[in-house]
């Protein structure tokens, strides 16, 4: 019976996860990010190549990039040509300013779209402050290329050690295993970091590690399949010629983002598993929304009248036993009706608390119903 309960719970969790993915339109979001990435790809690679040249191993970066697109050597050569041309022209005259502005705009737009998509997955309505947006985005703009350069440098170092130790009985196989494992490890760390850092809310590391490993492993396996499908792609090239690089590059970007976003959704469901296990999310009626909003409003007002510390969303959830996603949407709508005000003590909302925005002594359920009806909003 225990096993049956576990199987039923797992089945309901999987169904709820799939429904949540559909509700949040993960495929469509991946398409939007694919377009943003396409615009920002050459500028970002230009930064990577420029930093690599500063470290003195731009040749190794080119080899790494060509190996990543070994199934499409024409695409790799074309992109490298674009990057080199971009770097040359940014040193000349007015293009220096225009080129840098375009690089910053496309890259920051990509990061902004990623954050917005992750916030949608996590049901976060509040954006980063302007100061934090500027500092975080600029940090990412420079850290990502540096991480790529350093990781490729480590790969070169490990490969050199493997060549020296290949005759060793013990260290040779160990080093070869490390080389094979390193891409999975690096991608898993990258996805885990992205899942923790990017949403503008508190994400537990324990909720992001397993999705990060799953996404990193899936990405590396997809990359291996993509690289090893040269025969099929060669046949495609025979039909479409040089234009074949475009759809296959877009396919690579789209699939990569789908893997990333599904991992982000899995991270969200792990942290809020009690909302999913044994419960497939459904859209509540307007009447149930009003009832739940009234309960939340009473809890916030009671805390305020008793002179106690302002309540958090987690504390509200413990009292009225509804899902965190619905509580977040209720609080968001109550803010929009100017009945509740959010007090944020931390940029990522770790300590966000809620107070009455006006006197609620004369508030009635009918008055609340009218305010919510005027919003024309629904819970997700």
Q: Which residues pair with residue 341 across a beta bridge?
A: 355
Q: Dihedral sign for Cα 312, 314, 319, 324, please.
A: positive
Range from 75-79, 114-118, 289-293 carrying the lowest mean pLDDT: 75-79
Using CA atoms, how far apart are residues 193 and 264, in angstroms rounded to an integer?
11
Do residues 325 and 123 lie in contact, with contact meaning Cβ atoms separated by under 8 Å? yes
Reported as a pLDDT band with limits 50, 70 and 90, residue 215 is very high
Of 351 and 213, which is predicted with more confidence?
Answer: 213
Q: Taking 80 as the threshold, does the pLDDT of residue 338 lie above it? A: yes
Residue from 92, 155, 87, 114 nearest 30 by CA = 114
- CB-CB neighbours of 168 under 10 Å: 12
Overall average pLDDT of the 256-284 stretch: 77
Q: Which long-range contacts (CB under 8 A, 24 or more apart) does 321-328 make?
A: 322/292, 323/272, 323/274, 323/275, 323/279, 323/281, 324/123, 324/272, 324/275, 325/123, 325/272, 325/275, 325/281, 325/379, 325/380, 326/284, 326/292, 326/379, 327/296, 328/123, 328/124, 328/125
φ, ψ of residue 306 in degrees (nearest 5): -85, 0
Q: Which of 61-75, 172-186, 321-335 has the highest mean pLDDT?
A: 321-335
Q: What is the largest CA-CA distance in the chain?
A: 84
Query: Alpha-carbon distance 86 to 104, whole Å?
Result: 14
Name the residue with tokens 């396996």: 221
CB 223 within 8 A of CB 69: no
pLDDT above 80 (res 280)? no
Q: Residue 105 pLDDT more than 60?
A: yes
Token pair belonging to 186:
């690096």
* pLDDT at 378 exceeding the cut of 60: no
Listed in sequence order, the DSSP H helices in the chain are: 2-23, 26-55, 58-68, 73-89, 95-121, 130-165, 171-197, 205-227, 230-240, 245-271, 286-305, 313-320, 324-336, 365-375
Tell me the average pLDDT across 135-146: 69
Reported as a single tens digit per residue, the pLDDT across 341-368 is 888 655 555 567 888 888 777 788 888 8
pLDDT at residue 242 tops 70: no
Question: Distance between CA 317 and CA 319 in Å, rounded?
Answer: 5
Q: What is the pLDDT of residue 263?
A: 92
Q: 136 pLDDT exceeds 50? A: yes
**Angle (nearest 5°) at CA 185 between 182 and 186:** 85
For residues 29 and 261, what is the distance between their CA atoms, to the nearest angstrom? 8
* 5-16 per-position pLDDT tens digit: 556 556 656 666
pLDDT, mean of residues 314-319: 84
More confident residue, 127 or 232: 127
CA distance 171 to 162: 8
Q: What is the pLDDT of residue 176?
A: 65
Mean pLDDT of the chain: 75
For the stretch 35-58, pLDDT in tens is 888 888 877 777 777 777 766 666
Say whether pLDDT at 301 is over 70: yes
pLDDT for 208 equals 92
Rg over CA atoms, the chain: 25
- 200: pLDDT strictly greater than 80: yes
- Alpha helical stretches, state H, 24-94: 26-55, 58-68, 73-89
Distance CA 216, CA 218 (A): 6
Nearest to 327 by CA among 123, 27, 66: 123
The more confidently predicted of residues 146 and 203 is 203
């Amino acid at each position: 019976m225990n096993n049956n309960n576990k199987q039923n719970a797992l089945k309901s969790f999987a169904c709820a996860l799939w429904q949540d993915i559909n509700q949040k339109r993960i495929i469509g979001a991946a398409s939007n990010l694919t377009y943003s990435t396409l615009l920002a790809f050459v500028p970002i690679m230009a930064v990577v190549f420029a930093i690599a040249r500063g470290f003195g191993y731009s040749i190794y970066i080119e080899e790494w990039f060509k190996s990543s697109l070994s199934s499409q050597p024409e695409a790799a050569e074309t992109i490298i040509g674009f990057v080199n041309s971009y770097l040359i022209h940014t040193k000349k005259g007015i293009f220096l300013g225009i080129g840098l502005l375009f690089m910053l705009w496309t890259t920051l737009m990509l990061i902004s779209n990623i954050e917005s998509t992750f916030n949608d997955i996590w049901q976060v309505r509040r954006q980063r402050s302007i100061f934090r947006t500027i500092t975080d985005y600029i940090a990412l703009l420079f850290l990502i290329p540096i991480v790529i350069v350093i990781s490729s440098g480590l790969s070169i170092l490990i490969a050199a050690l493997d060549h020296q130790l290949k005759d060793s009985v013990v260290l040779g196989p160990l080093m070869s295993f490390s080389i094979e494992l390193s891409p999975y490890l690096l991608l898993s760390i990258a996805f885990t970091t992205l899942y923790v850092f990017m949403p503008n809310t508190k994400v537990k590391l324990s909720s992001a590690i397993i999705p990060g490993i799953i996404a990193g492993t899936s990405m590396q396996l997809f990359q291996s399949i993509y690289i090893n499908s040269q025969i099929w792609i060669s046949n495609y090239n025979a039909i479409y010629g040089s234009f074949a690089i475009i759809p296959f590059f877009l396919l690579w970007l789209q699939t990569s983002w789908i893997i990333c976003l599904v991992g982000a959704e899995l991270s969200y469901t792990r942290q809020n598993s009690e909302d999913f296990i044994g419960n497939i999310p459904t859209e509540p009626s307007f009447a149930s929304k009003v009832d739940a909003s009234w309960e939340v409003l009473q809890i916030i007002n009671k805390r305020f009248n008793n002179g106690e510390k302002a309540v958090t969303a987690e504390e509200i959830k413990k009292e009225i036993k509804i899902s965190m996603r619905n509580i977040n949407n209720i609080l968001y709508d109550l803010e929009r009706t100017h009945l509740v005000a959010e007090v944020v003590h931390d940029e990522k909302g770790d300590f966000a608390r809620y107070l009455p925005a006006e006197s609620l002594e004369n508030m009635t359920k009918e008055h609340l119903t009218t305010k919510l009806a005027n919003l024309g909003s629904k819970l997700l």
